[in-house]
Amino acid sequence: MATEVKLPEVGEGIETGTVVGVLVNVGDTVAKDQGLIELETDKAVVEVPSPVAGVVKQINVKANDEAAIGSVLLLIDEGATAADKAPATPTPADTKEAAPAEEANAAPVRDGSGAGGSVPAPSPAPAQAAAPTPAAAGATPKPAPAGGANGDHADHDRLVPAAPSVRRLARELGVDIKHVGGSGVLGRISAADVRSATSDAPRAIQAGGRPAAAVVPLPDFSKYGETTRSPMSGVRKATLRAMTNAWATVPMVTHFDKADITELERLRKRYQPQAEAVGAKLTPTAILLKVVAIALKRFPDFNASIDTETLEVVHKQYVNVGVAVDTDAGLLVPVVKGVDTKNMIELAKELGDLAEKARDRKLSLDEMQGGNFSISNLGGIGGTGFTPIVNPPDVAILGVSRAAVEPVWNKDTSGFEPRTVMPLALTYDHRLIDGAAAARFLRWICSALEDPFVVALES
């Protein structure tokens, strides 16, 4: 009996993923729960396990294909073994004939253009195939929103049939879900409808009623010289979506300050062997994790999120901090959970383990979710300052640049002294946090770094 292996739900709000690798071949005997497909979702790689034991009969995807939740990845002849049945690799003609029947049961496979459209795909498109133009991606007509053909304000208070995950997606993309036409039963709005609204400029409306910016097609660069194209990785696609949403929806301000970490560096080097004894490295970022955790307790508005639907502020009673990690695949942000409940050496060990998993692309989805605040430390690379971007629903992020020895005036000795100074930048959501509050928050962090005993007193 042939069993369809469909792409399961792999995380909240995730609708598609990119196939990184196929771990089996046609004719292979597989065990139940054996990994079949490696799938890259938003900044994580997960394995799709086999639901049954048997022989792989057919594989419908290949590396770099974009697959939607519910799409049929492969077929397994349940209970069979390679000795019982020698499966034949389907010819292209056989695959072409079988495709219409499979399409009837499989969820649509989305193209990799990011335009938001979805079309049934009998077979994966070649990697070199040109992405559809924005006009073509939005050409499929959608039912008009209930209450008016043009989606005017007459339907503003209507009941919107959409799942919570779809509503959240609409908020992240800056789309007013009340103005999105639903293509499902009784007008139910799907994630595809929301994404389609972002590529349909006349109907795409951002939060607050502002029209979304139209997609501007690129010029023909080939007129000027030779070009090549390469598909975006899943990490880069996720970054594109997140940063576009953040820039379009969050009014950001960045506040700068400097911390004299001369004494802190002396103590860090003194206690480094103690951390190394348990396989950890006492880095400035590990120390900052603890300092930030205390600051978030003292300044609860920085450990909060804005609910724009109910116009409420959600204050979290837990402290989870994301730390940006530079990897070959792009920027990944694992989350250290319960930072306020752990000491510096524990944080240093956990941070080191998460950073290694990030570089090896072994982070789970849970290890990348649930953050309240982020730290981005570029000090190991260089630079004197930068403006990090807030990652909604967080309301602030701390940027750290390279520390350097600078002459600092000492009023007690009436002279300059060489001191190690670390530049810090705090970007915050001005809808919730005012400039004075941001200045106090960052100044407290600087004071705690300058006098490490403060951390011992308040931790």
Here the tokens at position 322 are 């994301």
pLDDT tens digits, residue range 272-281?
A: 999 999 999 9
Q: For the residues 150-163, what does the mean pLDDT come to?
A: 52
C-alpha triplet 32, 34, 37: angle, nearest 5°: 125
Over range 407-432, report the average pLDDT. Answer: 94
| Integer Cα distance of 358 and 364 in angstroms | 9
258/213 same-domain check? no
> What b/e sequence results for 42-65 when a residue is b if at least 16 CB atoms lie within 10 Å of its CB, and e otherwise?
bbbbbebebbebbbbbbbbbeebb
Check if the beta carbon of residue 256 is closer than 8 Å to that of residue 423: yes
**Domain's final residue, options 198, 217, 236:** 217
pLDDT at position 21 over 90: no
Strands 396-400 and 373-377: parallel
Residues 175 and 264 occupy one common structural domain: no
Number of folded domains in the chain? 3
Distance from C-alpha of 182 to C-alpha of 188, rounded to nearest angstrom: 5
pLDDT tens digits, 192-216 = 788 777 654 344 444 444 444 556 7
Same domain, yes or no: 206 and 328:
no
What distance in Å separates the CA atoms of residue 444 and residue 449, rounded to the nearest whole number? Answer: 9
Tokens found for residue 352: 């080191």
Residues 179 and 315 in one domain: no
Could you count the other beta carbons within 10 Å of the beta carbon of residue 377?
20
Which single residue is written with the structure tokens 């008016």? Answer: 148
Residue at a domain's end among 59, 86, 105: 105
Classify residue 285: in a domain, yes or no. Answer: yes
Q: Which amino acid is at 396?
A: A
CB contact at 8 A, 76 and 50 = yes
- Model-level pTM? 0.63
Does residue 225 lie within any of the structural domains? no
Strand pairing class (29-30; 16-22): unpaired
State whether 191 and 91 are in the same domain: no
C-alpha–C-alpha distance, residues 46 and 101, integer Å: 28
Separation CA 73–CA 61 (nearest Å): 6
| Domain contains 116 | no
Whole-angstrom Cα distance, residue 40 to residue 34?
18
Are residue 351 and residue 428 in the same domain, yes or no?
yes
244: burial class by Cβ within 10 Å (0-12, 13-18, 19+)?
Answer: middle
Element (H, E) at 306: strand 304-307
The answer as to whether 138 is a domain residue is yes
pLDDT tops 60 at residue 149: no
Q: How far is CA 261 from the centre of its chain?
A: 32
Residues 391 and 443 in one domain: yes
Dihedral through CA 291, CA 292, CA 298, CA 299, nearest 10? 150
> Is residue 298 in some structural domain?
yes
Task: Say how far apart CA 332 and CA 363 lie, in whole Å.
Answer: 9
User: Can 179 be counted among the known catalytic residues?
Assistant: no
* Residue of higher predicted confidence among 68 and 132: 68
Q: What is the pLDDT of residues 365-411, one digit of tens each?
A: 889 999 999 999 999 998 999 999 999 999 999 999 999 999 999 88
Kindly state the helix (H) or strand (E) to which residue 307 belongs, with its residue range.
Answer: strand 304-307
The dihedrals phi and psi of 214, each to the nearest 5 degrees, come to -70, 150
- Structural domain includes residue 229: no
Given 175, 198, 217, the domain boundary residue is 217
- The pLDDT, as a whole number, for residue 94 is 46
Helix or strand or coil: residue 335? strand
Region of 338 (left: φ > 0; alpha: ψ -120 to 50; beta: rest) is left
Please tell me which residue, 263 or 115, carries the higher pLDDT value. 263
Same domain, 286 and 378: yes
Mean pLDDT is lowest, of 51-55, 347-351, 424-428, for 51-55
Lowest mean pLDDT among 9-13, 20-24, 162-166, 193-197: 9-13
Domain of 142? 134-217
Buried b (16+ CB within 10 A) or exposed e, 101-137: ebbeebbbbbbbbbbbbbeebebbbeeeeeebebeeb
358 & 450 share domain:
yes
How far apart (Å, rounded) are the C-alpha atoms in residues 168 and 418? Answer: 50
One domain, residues 37 and 166: no
End-to-end CA separation in angstroms for the chain: 60
Residues 82 and 197 in one domain: no
Judgement on whether residues 423 and 351 belong to the same structural domain of the protein: yes
Q: Name the DSSP letter for residue 209.
A: S
The whole-angstrom separation of Cα 355 and Cα 363 is: 9
CATH number at residue 72: 2.40.50.100
Of the chain, the percentage scoring pLDDT greater than 90 comes to 45
d(CA 186, CA 302): 41
Assigned domain for 111 exists: no
pLDDT given for residue 459 in this prediction: 64
CATH code of residue 430:
3.30.559.10
Confidence (pLDDT) at 437? 97
Q: Backbone phi, then psi, for 433, in 5-degree steps?
A: -110, 130
Average pLDDT, the chain: 79
* Residue at token pair 């820039």: 247
**Domain presence at residue 24:** yes
